[in-house]
Amino acid sequence: MKMSHVGIMVGDMDKAVEFYTKALGLKLVMENTKVVEERETAIGRMCIAVFGEGFKGFNIAHLVTTDGIGVELFEMVDRQERHEVDFSRIGIFHFSLQTNDFAGAIKRTEEFGGKVRMDIMRYHPEDDSKQAKMVYLEDPFGNLFELYSHTYEETYASDYE
């Protein structure tokens, strides 16, 4: 199984595309596109199945990371409340990106309306041979994301040196 993409709800598509491309360096592969509720196309029927009758449409844009993982941004027509993380709910609460430029990514995150949720931390501070570090941030809409310095496997493998 390979990871294909993650879908993220945002409150302002233009601001979201700017944030994810300029702050985080993702590449835009499909510009902001309006989707309306309709039954004539397969996409229209799929959207009704997913969002329900009367979803009133949305804007969508597709971006991609440098390793080819998709980021699908959704701006719903009438569901624009800011996301607040409810840690008592079961479900996905963040996604993670890998970078060598923590300082630059953090600076750009704040510059383009995001927030830093914590100081940069090392996963194994007791072991100088293991340098993996991480930090939690959020986009301008309250969606949490994490930055990793190393691959997921390097960060957690028991034999990581």
* Domain definitions of the chain by residue range: 5-156
Residue 53 pLDDT = 87
Mean pLDDT of 38-47: 88
Distance between CA atoms of residues 70 and 78, nearest Å: 25
Could you give the C-alpha distances from 15 to 12, 32, 133, in angstroms and in order? 5, 11, 28
**How buried is 141 (Cβ within 10 angstroms: 0-12 exposed, 13-18 middle, 19+ buried)?**
buried
pTM strictly above 0.85: yes
Residues 71 and 29: their CA atoms lie apart, in Å, by 10
- Alpha carbon 133 to its chain's center: 19
Work out the pLDDT band at 79, boundaries 50, 70, 90. low
Q: For the domain made up of 5-156, give the CATH fold.
A: 2,3-Dihydroxybiphenyl 1,2-Dioxygenase; domain 1 (3.10.180)
pLDDT at 54 over 90: no
75 confidence band (pLDDT: 50, 70, 90): very high
